[in-house]
Amino acid sequence: MNKKKAKQTIVKENYIAALDLGSNSFHFVLARQLNGHLQIVHAEKYRVQLAQGLQDDNILSPTAIQRGVSTLENLAKSTQHLTSKNFRAVATFTLRQAKNSAQFLKAAAQVFPFDIEIISGHEEARLIYQGVNHYTQSSQQRLIIDIGGGSTECALGQQQKIAALASLTMGCVSYSQKFFKNGVINDNAFCAAIRSAQHEIDSVIKRFKKSGWQEVIGTSGTIKSISKVLNFDQHLIQPIQLSQLLILKKQLIACKHCDSISITGINTSRRNVFSAGLAILIALMKSLKITQLDYCQYALREGVLIEQLDSLQNNNIRQRTVINLIARFNIDTKQVALVDSSVQQLFNAVQDVWQLKQPIYHELLIAAVQLHELGLDINPSGYHKHGQYILTHADLSGFNQEQQQALAWLVGNQRKKTSPLDDEQWYLLKPQRLKKLVILLRLSILLSQQRQKNKSALINALADKESLTLLFDKQWLLDRPIVDTELFYESELIEVLDIKLIIKSL
């Protein structure tokens, strides 16, 4: 092996990297694996301010898209020795909100060689907690706060156990545009911003205070910049106090405009968002009655790194989430096993022809099998729709936004008429492949509806791009006329999924 090739192999095997496409900045971090731990060796920060281009109708402006794509083009040079196995890119609030996020992702794909996952606010909060918890060990119950460009994430937990997660629609970029227009700073702007933030926080106060906490940690750019100002002349970094924030607020009001800010410690690049970030932090400390808050440099990107390390060690977070849901909703695991037996047989027969070899498709299918009766206790006649609703709105740790949406759709369309898939809303997953997964799920549930373990009814399954032929034991079908009839009607129902179902027996 030559030296160049050996170096690339080392990078691929021993290094993990993450990219956080935030609403204010993009953060890239590279870490080295050392005996199951991670050592951060390189970090890059790009000030992009995507949220600044998010218009009132939630359309991301062409200028903002170009800023983000140009940044990714520059970042591509830092990722050239990485692979999809050791690098993960996640996008947060702005791309969650943008109706034209697909336009950004398609443009990014032209210059950036890796997939970009859009994650939910709760998943973002969980990953932030994971990053802070891993690098700052503590036995106490902790509240972790991250004020971003478009949203604020709060996570409450003790060591590995998370008690509460929240994602609030308030960020330093969006609040700057809304309350500190044209850079003007005055008492009215601060009062309006604080009042708005407190209104947002009201939705989580009861839930968070019920669990309580012994310490509060703030992370990311807004709290970092505030801590830097308050500790500019300190030899030892001190916690942030509410009284200090109120004094800082008066100093900013005296400046009257962001361009006139001359407070020691405030970087020129943060002047236009500093006041909004301060207003949000004041609201948080007032509403949650926080006496003091410590700053931590670790955040979402480190949480993504830890998640990757867990995955490499075969600790799949999504599988744990599914197992927890099975226990929580008392799902019949014997019935799951019956459906699983049928779906595995079908999947193995069609995965090559239907291009389902990518692991995530098999994982989503099995998760749908395991959770297909999730809504049964709510309403037996419409349980599939109740299951879809739960999965759409639940906090599904480990699932990005698209994966969660796909799982919910599969469970919701396991029976009766299928709802259409909008091709434009999918980026990482292919709608035609999801349609094929739901066919396999529907058939497997249909064949297992008697909830009894019997000799395998299906002799063989043959597929091409436009059809699926199932060969059954003739006597088995004769003994089950209801199943035979339902297979006939099922062939009509799945025609809208672009597959012709052919039933044969011998």
- Whether residues 384 and 494 share a domain: the answer is yes
- Whether residues 88 and 188 share a domain: the answer is no
- Whether residues 170 and 284 share a domain: the answer is yes
- Whether residues 293 and 320 share a domain: the answer is no
Is the pLDDT at 63 greater than 70? The verdict is: yes
Say what the pLDDT of residue 449 is.
81
Average pLDDT over residues 404-430: 91
Please, what is the average pLDDT of the chain? 91
The residue from 297, 326, 343 where one domain ends is: 297
The residue from 85, 119, 153 where one domain ends is: 119
Interatomic CA distance for residues 405 and 432, integer angstroms: 15
- Grade residue 17 by pLDDT with cuts at 50, 70 and 90: very high
Average pLDDT over residues 92-107: 94
Say what the pLDDT of residue 379 is.
85
The residue from 236, 268, 297 where one domain ends is: 297
Give 260-278 pLDDT, tens digit per residue: 999 999 999 899 999 999 9
Q: Which domain holds residue 79?
A: 3-119
- Grade residue 36 by pLDDT with cuts at 50, 70 and 90: low
486 inside domain? yes
CB hemisphere CA count around 156 (13 angstroms)? 16
Give 151-183 pLDDT, tens digit per residue: 999 999 999 899 999 999 999 999 999 999 999
- Whether residues 401 and 446 share a domain: the answer is yes
Contacts of residues 351-359 at CB distance under 8 Å and 24 or more positions apart, as own/partner, are: 353/463, 353/464, 353/465, 354/433, 354/436, 354/463, 354/465, 355/433, 356/433, 356/436, 356/437
- Whether residues 218 and 293 share a domain: the answer is yes
CATH number where 70 lies: 3.30.420.40
302 inside domain? no
Structure tokens belonging to residue 15: 């290094």
CATH number where 232 lies: 3.30.420.150
Give 130-141 pLDDT, tens digit per residue: 999 988 888 999
415 inside domain? yes
Say what the pLDDT of residue 506 is.
85
Buried-state track 436-446, b at ≥16 Cβ within 10 A, e below 16: bbbbbbbbbbb
Is the pLDDT at 345 greater than 90? The verdict is: yes
Say what the pLDDT of residue 11 is.
45
pLDDT higher for 1 or 22? 22
- Whether residues 259 and 382 share a domain: the answer is no
- Whether residues 262 and 369 share a domain: the answer is no
Provide the number of structural domains found in the chain.
3
Say what the pLDDT of residue 454 is.
64
- Whether residues 275 and 358 share a domain: the answer is no
- Whether residues 195 and 250 share a domain: the answer is yes
Interatomic CA distance for residues 278 and 147, integer angstroms: 10
Is the pLDDT at 90 greater than 70? The verdict is: yes
- Grade residue 480 by pLDDT with cuts at 50, 70 and 90: confident
- Grade residue 313 by pLDDT with cuts at 50, 70 and 90: low
- Whether residues 362 and 493 share a domain: the answer is yes
pTM value is: 0.86
